[in-house]
Amino acid sequence: SQQGEEDPQALSIQEGENATMNCSYKTSINNLQWYRQNSGRGLVHLILIRSNEREKHSGRLRVTLDTSKKSSSLLITASRAADTASYFCATDALGFQKLVFGTGTRLLVSP
Amino acid sequence: DAGVIQSPRHEVTEMGQEVTLRCKPISGHNSLFWYRQTMMRGLELLIYFNNNVPIDDSGMPEDRFSAKMPNASFSTLKIQPSEPRDSAVYFCASRGEPPEQYFGPGTRLTVT
């Protein structure tokens, strides 16, 4: 399976703390994307990092990419209760048009 | 733009019945994807289209599943006959340029 792996599977933190989620994948990629899914809703795109980039920021989000290790991390700083959701990484593999989604990390941010 | 539109939002049907799920992608997007999400298997890509042409249907679980995209603004996913193990949330997503996907709200299918 090409499916990526994410860890941890679940993460529980307090508001104001930082949350870090990791993603590993198996194939060479064009880009890697992170998505968020609130319970009972569709996935929402958060950020995209291309294979020639090593770090990218968007608001309270920071994404890193290490293509030599085939891994990425998503950092959410100063978390809020509203950040409670599942977070998925997805890889856009070379030669393909489709995304391969990871297994997801369930984040719970307590007030 | 209203985003990706899916209908129905909820579907409850009995085993053996035909189920048709519908999707309207975002105008101007040239790729459309159908996914299935369950607790056990996570998010699975079933099929995707590019410019209305099916490109990869390797994720379609069996011949009971079929998908069509007769034009750029409409796609259907049909299950005939439906079985209880088909119960899941089915998402449609579309993509233009840049390559991020936009997901619909999903159809929650329950087959009894």
pLDDT digits 0-9 by tens, B40-80? 888 999 999 999 999 999 999 889 999 999 999 999 999 99
* Class of residue B57 by CB neighbours under 10 A (exposed 0-12, middle 13-18, buried 19+): middle
Residues 6 or more apart whose Cβ sits within 8 Å of residue A94: A27, A28, A29, A30
The confidence band for B30, taking pLDDT boundaries of 50, 70 and 90, is very high
Partners of A13 in the beta sheet?
Answer: A109
Minimum distance, in Å, between the CA of residue B68 and any CA atom of chain A: 18
Quote the CA–CA distance of A72 and A106 in Å, as a whole number: 17
Task: Indicate the pLDDT class of residue A95, thresholds 50, 70 and 90.
Answer: low
- Residue-level pLDDT at A1: 43
**Which range is least confidently modeled, A65-69, A94-98, B98-102?**
A94-98
Determine which of A51, A99, A100 to mutate to test the interface with B (most B C-beta atoms within 10 Å): A99
Share of chain B above pLDDT 90, in %: 88
Q: What is the pLDDT of residue A70?
A: 95
Look at B41 and B6; give whichever has higher pLDDT: B6
Between positions 60 and 89 of B, the ones with CB within 8 A of A are none
What sign has the CA pseudo-torsion B51, B53, B54, B55?
Answer: negative
B98–A48 C-beta distance less than 8 A: yes
pLDDT in tens, A48-63: 999 999 999 999 999 9
Closest CB from B42, B48, B102 relative to A98: B48
Across B7-22, average pLDDT: 97
Place of tokens 């993460």: A11
Question: Which amino acid, one-letter code, is at B91?
Answer: F
pLDDT for B23: 98
Q: CB-CB: which of A3, A31, A97 is closest to B55? A: A97
C-alpha span between A64 and B17 (Å, rounded): 47
pLDDT at A4 over 80: no
Q: Determine how many CB atoms are found less than 10 A away from the CB of residue A14.
A: 10
Q: Are strands B42-50 and B53-56 parallel, antiparallel or unpaired?
A: antiparallel
Per-residue pLDDT, averaged over A65-87, amounts to: 97
Across the interface, do B103 and A44 touch by the CB < 8 Å criterion? Answer: yes
Residue B99 confidence (pLDDT) above 90: no
CB proximity under 8 Å: A 15-74 to B = 30-31, 33, 35, 41-45, 48
Whether the pLDDT of residue A13 is over 70: the answer is yes
- Say if residue A97's pLDDT is above 80: no
**Of chain B residues 15-54, which have a CB less than 8 A from chain A?**
31, 33, 42-43, 45, 48, 50
In chain A, the residue whose alpha carbon lies closest to the alpha carbon of B6 is A42
Please report, as a single letter, which amino acid is at residue A64.
T
Distance CA B47, CA B35 (A): 7
Contact B99 A92 (CB under 8 A): yes
Indicate if the pLDDT at residue A3 is higher than 90.
Answer: no
Does position B1 have pLDDT exceeding 80, yes or no? no
pLDDT confidence bin for A93, thresholds 50/70/90: confident
Cα B16 to Cα A1: distance, rounded to the nearest angstrom: 31
Most A CBs within 10 Å: which of B4, B41, B43, B95, as the mutation test of the A interface?
A: B43
The pLDDT value given to residue A40: 86
Q: Are the beta carbons of B29 and B94 closer than 8 angstroms?
A: yes
**Cα B82 from chain centre:** 15
Q: Which residues of chain B neighbour A104 with C-beta distances below 8 Å?
A: 42-43
Where does residue B70 fall: left (phi above 0), alpha (psi -120 to 50 degrees), or beta otherwise?
Answer: alpha
When pLDDT is cut at 50, 70 and 90, the band that residue A6 belongs to is confident
B72-111 residues labelled b (16+ CB within 10 A) or e (exposed): beebebebeebeeebbbbbbbbbbeeebbbbbbbbbbbeb
